[in-house]
Amino acid sequence: MKRLASGLLVMGLSSVAAPTRPDGGVSPVLARDGGVEESKAQGPAPASSAELERLKRDLQDLRARTTELEQKVRQVDAVERKVDEVKKELATLSERVTANEDTRRDAERAVVEQKQRVQQATQGLVVADQQLASGNTESVSRALQVAEASYTGAALKYVQAARTSFSNGDLASTRTLLSLAVLEAQNQRGP
């Protein structure tokens, strides 16, 4: 049977579609297409001019869509670059804000510390004035030194004049100048 089938194939005959005889044998049938399917042997069917026009329009539409999509991709890329630039600017601004906040906090801390130093110096001058009233001059020099380091403006000038007066032994002028320095420091400090 194999020999018959291979012999038929060699001759260009197809044994696949061969009908069987009533006695069980196979009748040789000659294939019209030489063993090749009919649709493949003829190739694609010729297209009508209407179909060709439709295909041309479809191709033009596809090209137009492709061009439009490419343009949108370029626009999206440009927007993404702009977003990246804005993100960088935002990060820079955020760093500046953080630095400004740090500077502001440092300045506030310095103001608070300065107020505390002025308050301590003022308390020291009040104590020194009380000691001078009782004739005790031991801690007056130290109180004047602290006030000179803490005071500014007119209060500082009064403290310097009080030091000169104290060095000259004029305790009454020293007390008056200390009182003026304290008043000026309180005025500078505010309520």
Q: What's the whole-number average pLDDT of the chain? A: 83
- pLDDT in the model for residue 37: 57
Query: What average pLDDT does the segment 169-187 reach?
Result: 93
Residues 6+ apart with CB under 8 A from 144: 125, 128, 159, 162, 163, 166
Of 37-46, 69-78, 105-114, which range is least confident?
A: 37-46
DSSP 33-49: STTS-HHHHH-SPPPPH
Distance CA 162, CA 169 (A): 10
Establish if 38 belongs to a structural domain. no
pLDDT at residue 180 greater than cutoff 60:
yes
Query: What average pLDDT does the segment 172-189 reach?
Result: 91
The string of pLDDT tens digits covering residues 44-71 is: 666 789 999 999 999 999 999 999 999 9
3-state helix, strand, coil in the chain (%, to 5): 75, 0, 25
Establish if 3 belongs to a structural domain. no
Establish if 143 belongs to a structural domain. yes
Parent domain of 107: 49-189
C-alpha distances in Å from residue 120, one per residue of 109, 145, 163:
16, 12, 18
Q: Could you give the number of structural domains in the chain?
A: 1
Distance CA 49, CA 64 (A): 22
Identify whether the C-beta of residue 118 lies closer than 8 Å to the C-beta of residue 185: yes
Establish if 150 belongs to a structural domain. yes
Identify whether the C-beta of residue 156 lies closer than 8 Å to the C-beta of residue 171: no
Write b or e for each residue in 49-78: b if 16 or more Cβ atoms lie within 10 A of its Cβ, otherwise e: eeeeeeeeeeeeeeeeeeeeeeeeeeeeee
Q: At 6, is the pLDDT very low, low, confident or very high (cuts 50, 70, 90)? A: very low
Establish if 53 belongs to a structural domain. yes
Establish if 32 belongs to a structural domain. no
Q: At 157, is the pLDDT very low, low, confident or very high (cuts 50, 70, 90)? A: very high
- pLDDT in the model for residue 2: 47
Q: What is the pTM of this model?
A: 0.52
